[in-house]
Amino acid sequence: MIKIAPSVLSADFCRLGAEAAEIKAAGGDWLHVDVMDGLFVPNISIGLPVLKSLRQATDMFLDAHLMIDRPLRYARRFCEAGADLVNVHVEADSEENIRKAIAAIKECGKLAGVTIKPATPAEAIVPFLVMTVEPGFGGQRFMADQLPKLRRVRGLIDQAAGDCLLEVDGGVDESTAPLCAEAGADVLVAGSAVFGKADRAAAIRAIRENCRKT
Ligand code: DX5
Ligand code: ZN
Protein backbone atom coordinates (compact mmCIF):
# COMPACT_ATOMS: atom_id res chain seq x y z
CA MET A 1 0.00 0.00 0.00
CA ILE A 2 1.17 3.51 -0.76
CA LYS A 3 2.79 5.43 2.09
CA ILE A 4 2.03 9.09 2.75
CA ALA A 5 4.80 11.25 4.20
CA PRO A 6 3.57 14.69 5.30
CA SER A 7 6.38 17.26 5.04
CA VAL A 8 6.91 19.32 8.18
CA LEU A 9 8.12 22.19 6.01
CA SER A 10 4.46 23.25 5.93
CA ALA A 11 3.92 22.65 9.68
CA ASP A 12 3.83 25.25 12.44
CA PHE A 13 7.46 25.13 13.67
CA CYS A 14 6.47 26.58 17.06
CA ARG A 15 4.48 23.47 17.85
CA LEU A 16 6.28 20.75 15.92
CA GLY A 17 5.75 18.03 18.55
CA ALA A 18 1.99 18.59 18.57
CA GLU A 19 1.94 18.75 14.76
CA ALA A 20 3.74 15.38 14.58
CA ALA A 21 1.27 13.83 17.03
CA GLU A 22 -1.61 15.16 14.98
CA ILE A 23 -0.19 13.72 11.76
CA LYS A 24 0.28 10.34 13.42
CA ALA A 25 -3.30 10.36 14.69
CA ALA A 26 -4.44 11.50 11.24
CA GLY A 27 -2.94 8.38 9.66
CA GLY A 28 0.28 9.71 8.12
CA ASP A 29 2.86 6.95 7.56
CA TRP A 30 6.19 8.83 7.68
CA LEU A 31 7.22 12.38 8.60
CA HIS A 32 9.28 14.06 5.86
CA VAL A 33 11.86 16.53 7.19
CA ASP A 34 13.26 19.03 4.66
CA VAL A 35 16.77 20.24 5.47
CA MET A 36 17.95 23.21 3.36
CA ASP A 37 21.29 25.00 3.60
CA GLY A 38 20.81 28.15 1.50
CA LEU A 39 23.52 26.91 -0.91
CA PHE A 40 22.26 23.77 -2.59
CA VAL A 41 18.83 25.43 -2.64
CA PRO A 42 18.05 29.13 -2.20
CA ASN A 43 16.14 28.58 1.05
CA ILE A 44 17.15 27.78 4.64
CA SER A 45 14.86 25.57 6.70
CA ILE A 46 15.84 23.42 9.67
CA GLY A 47 18.74 21.20 10.70
CA LEU A 48 20.15 18.78 13.25
CA PRO A 49 18.80 20.24 16.53
CA VAL A 50 15.24 20.32 15.22
CA LEU A 51 15.44 16.77 13.91
CA LYS A 52 16.80 15.69 17.29
CA SER A 53 13.89 17.33 19.13
CA LEU A 54 11.43 15.82 16.71
CA ARG A 55 12.97 12.39 17.38
CA GLN A 56 12.26 12.86 21.08
CA ALA A 57 8.72 14.01 20.42
CA THR A 58 7.54 11.23 18.11
CA ASP A 59 8.06 7.58 17.28
CA MET A 60 7.05 8.17 13.66
CA PHE A 61 9.44 7.09 10.87
CA LEU A 62 11.55 10.18 10.11
CA ASP A 63 12.45 10.68 6.45
CA ALA A 64 15.21 13.32 6.25
CA HIS A 65 15.57 15.02 2.85
CA LEU A 66 18.98 16.70 2.79
CA MET A 67 18.97 19.59 0.31
CA ILE A 68 22.53 20.51 1.26
CA ASP A 69 25.90 20.70 -0.49
CA ARG A 70 28.31 17.81 0.12
CA PRO A 71 25.93 15.76 2.28
CA LEU A 72 28.75 13.37 3.21
CA ARG A 73 29.76 15.97 5.81
CA TYR A 74 26.52 15.49 7.73
CA ALA A 75 25.03 12.12 6.71
CA ARG A 76 26.23 10.32 9.82
CA ARG A 77 25.10 13.10 12.14
CA PHE A 78 21.57 13.05 10.76
CA CYS A 79 21.47 9.31 11.46
CA GLU A 80 22.70 9.89 15.00
CA ALA A 81 20.14 12.65 15.48
CA GLY A 82 17.40 10.10 14.84
CA ALA A 83 16.51 9.99 11.14
CA ASP A 84 15.29 6.58 9.94
CA LEU A 85 15.94 7.36 6.29
CA VAL A 86 18.44 9.91 4.98
CA ASN A 87 17.97 11.11 1.40
CA VAL A 88 20.89 12.83 -0.35
CA HIS A 89 20.87 14.62 -3.71
CA VAL A 90 23.04 13.15 -6.48
CA GLU A 91 23.66 16.71 -7.72
CA ALA A 92 25.18 17.79 -4.40
CA ASP A 93 28.64 16.17 -4.79
CA SER A 94 30.79 13.81 -6.89
CA GLU A 95 29.49 10.31 -7.50
CA GLU A 96 32.26 8.96 -5.29
CA ASN A 97 31.25 11.15 -2.36
CA ILE A 98 27.56 10.38 -2.81
CA ARG A 99 28.43 6.69 -2.64
CA LYS A 100 30.44 7.36 0.53
CA ALA A 101 27.49 9.20 2.04
CA ILE A 102 25.19 6.26 1.25
CA ALA A 103 27.70 3.84 2.79
CA ALA A 104 27.95 6.00 5.93
CA ILE A 105 24.16 6.03 6.32
CA LYS A 106 23.97 2.27 5.91
CA GLU A 107 26.80 1.77 8.41
CA CYS A 108 24.65 3.61 10.94
CA GLY A 109 21.96 1.01 10.32
CA LYS A 110 19.62 3.50 8.63
CA LEU A 111 17.97 3.51 5.21
CA ALA A 112 19.74 5.53 2.52
CA GLY A 113 18.04 7.29 -0.37
CA VAL A 114 19.28 9.19 -3.37
CA THR A 115 17.26 12.04 -4.81
CA ILE A 116 17.15 13.65 -8.25
CA LYS A 117 16.02 17.14 -9.23
CA PRO A 118 13.60 17.61 -12.15
CA ALA A 119 16.38 18.29 -14.69
CA THR A 120 18.45 15.25 -13.72
CA PRO A 121 17.86 12.17 -15.89
CA ALA A 122 16.71 8.91 -14.32
CA GLU A 123 19.91 7.22 -15.46
CA ALA A 124 22.05 9.48 -13.22
CA ILE A 125 21.86 6.71 -10.67
CA VAL A 126 19.08 4.30 -9.76
CA PRO A 127 17.19 6.89 -7.74
CA PHE A 128 14.69 6.53 -4.96
CA LEU A 129 13.22 10.02 -4.56
CA VAL A 130 12.07 11.88 -7.65
CA MET A 131 11.42 15.61 -7.27
CA THR A 132 8.24 16.84 -8.94
CA VAL A 133 9.04 20.49 -8.06
CA GLU A 134 12.36 22.40 -8.03
CA PRO A 135 13.60 21.75 -4.49
CA GLY A 136 13.62 24.64 -2.06
CA PHE A 137 10.05 25.66 -1.33
CA GLY A 138 6.76 24.10 -0.30
CA GLY A 139 3.49 24.82 -2.07
CA GLN A 140 4.78 24.71 -5.67
CA ARG A 141 2.87 23.33 -8.61
CA PHE A 142 3.28 19.62 -9.45
CA MET A 143 5.42 19.06 -12.58
CA ALA A 144 3.45 16.50 -14.55
CA ASP A 145 6.30 16.33 -17.07
CA GLN A 146 8.19 14.27 -14.48
CA LEU A 147 5.71 11.37 -14.71
CA PRO A 148 7.54 9.58 -17.56
CA LYS A 149 10.70 9.77 -15.46
CA LEU A 150 8.85 8.21 -12.53
CA ARG A 151 7.80 5.33 -14.77
CA ARG A 152 11.36 4.95 -16.04
CA VAL A 153 12.71 4.80 -12.49
CA ARG A 154 10.03 2.27 -11.53
CA GLY A 155 11.25 0.15 -14.45
CA LEU A 156 14.90 0.46 -13.37
CA ILE A 157 14.05 -0.56 -9.81
CA ASP A 158 11.97 -3.52 -10.96
CA GLN A 159 14.72 -4.64 -13.35
CA ALA A 160 17.32 -4.50 -10.60
CA ALA A 161 14.83 -6.31 -8.35
CA GLY A 162 16.31 -4.26 -5.54
CA ASP A 163 14.63 -3.79 -2.20
CA CYS A 164 13.99 -0.13 -2.83
CA LEU A 165 11.14 2.32 -2.40
CA LEU A 166 10.31 4.99 -4.98
CA GLU A 167 9.37 8.26 -3.30
CA VAL A 168 7.87 11.36 -4.97
CA ASP A 169 8.23 14.87 -3.55
CA GLY A 170 6.62 18.14 -4.56
CA GLY A 171 3.14 19.35 -5.42
CA VAL A 172 1.52 16.07 -4.40
CA ASP A 173 -2.14 16.50 -3.46
CA GLU A 174 -5.34 14.51 -3.83
CA SER A 175 -5.47 15.12 -7.58
CA THR A 176 -1.78 14.55 -8.45
CA ALA A 177 -1.24 11.64 -6.02
CA PRO A 178 -3.09 9.08 -8.17
CA LEU A 179 -0.91 10.06 -11.16
CA CYS A 180 2.18 9.28 -9.07
CA ALA A 181 0.69 6.03 -7.78
CA GLU A 182 -0.18 4.98 -11.29
CA ALA A 183 3.39 5.74 -12.41
CA GLY A 184 4.76 3.42 -9.71
CA ALA A 185 5.40 5.51 -6.60
CA ASP A 186 5.60 3.78 -3.21
CA VAL A 187 5.85 6.86 -0.98
CA LEU A 188 4.22 10.26 -1.48
CA VAL A 189 5.53 13.37 0.26
CA ALA A 190 2.80 15.96 0.80
CA GLY A 191 3.45 19.25 2.56
CA SER A 192 0.86 21.92 1.91
CA ALA A 193 -1.76 19.37 0.84
CA VAL A 194 -1.80 17.99 4.40
CA PHE A 195 -0.55 20.74 6.72
CA GLY A 196 -2.48 23.38 4.81
CA LYS A 197 -5.79 21.72 5.65
CA ALA A 198 -7.66 22.09 8.96
CA ASP A 199 -8.64 18.41 8.88
CA ARG A 200 -5.36 16.56 8.27
CA ALA A 201 -6.96 13.12 8.65
CA ALA A 202 -9.43 13.92 5.89
CA ALA A 203 -6.60 15.23 3.69
CA ILE A 204 -4.54 12.03 4.15
CA ARG A 205 -7.62 9.87 3.64
CA ALA A 206 -8.50 11.67 0.39
CA ILE A 207 -4.96 11.14 -0.97
CA ARG A 208 -5.02 7.47 0.01
CA GLU A 209 -8.51 6.86 -1.37
CA ASN A 210 -7.72 8.49 -4.72
CA CYS A 211 -4.58 6.34 -5.07
CA ARG A 212 -6.59 3.21 -4.39
CA LYS A 213 -8.81 3.98 -7.35
CA THR A 214 -5.88 3.82 -9.82
C1 DX5 B 1 10.55 21.03 -1.47
C2 DX5 B 1 10.52 19.98 -0.40
C3 DX5 B 1 9.21 19.30 -0.23
C4 DX5 B 1 8.09 20.22 0.20
C5 DX5 B 1 6.85 19.69 -0.43
O6 DX5 B 1 11.86 21.40 -1.70
O7 DX5 B 1 11.48 18.96 -0.70
O8 DX5 B 1 9.30 18.19 0.66
O9 DX5 B 1 7.90 20.29 1.60
O10 DX5 B 1 5.82 20.59 -0.25
P11 DX5 B 1 4.50 20.54 -1.13
O12 DX5 B 1 3.89 19.18 -0.90
O13 DX5 B 1 3.71 21.67 -0.57
O14 DX5 B 1 4.92 20.74 -2.57
ZN1 ZN C 1 11.40 17.15 0.54
What is the per-residue pLDDT across 46-105, written as a single tens digit (0 to 9) for each? Answer: 999 999 999 999 999 999 999 999 999 999 999 999 999 999 999 999 988 998 999 999
Q: Given a cut of 70, is residue 168 above it in pLDDT? A: yes
Ligand 1 site residues, Cβ closer than 6 angstroms: 7, 9-10, 32, 34, 65, 133, 135-140, 169-172, 189-193
The per-residue pLDDT for 132 is 87
Q: How confident is the model at residue 30 (pLDDT cuts 50, 70, 90)?
A: very high
The per-residue pLDDT for 130 is 73
Which atom of ligand 1 sits closest to the CA of residue 135?
6
Mean of the pLDDT values across residues 142-166? 87
pTM: 0.90
Q: Given a cut of 70, is residue 208 above it in pLDDT? A: yes
The Å distance, Cα 188 to ligand 2 centre, comes to 10
The per-residue pLDDT for 95 is 84
Which atom of ligand 1 sits closest to the CA of residue 171?
14
Own/partner pairs, 150-157, CB within 8 angstroms, 24+ separation: 150/180, 150/183, 150/184, 150/185, 151/183, 151/184, 152/122, 153/122, 153/126, 153/127, 153/184, 154/183, 154/184, 154/185, 155/184, 156/122, 156/123, 156/126, 157/126, 157/184
Mean pLDDT (the chain) is: 93
Mean of the pLDDT values across residues 113-133? 76
The Å distance, Cα 194 to ligand 2 centre, comes to 14
Q: Which of 29, 37, 63, 169 is catalytic?
A: 169
93 is catalytic: no
Q: Given a cut of 50, is residue 127 above it in pLDDT? A: no
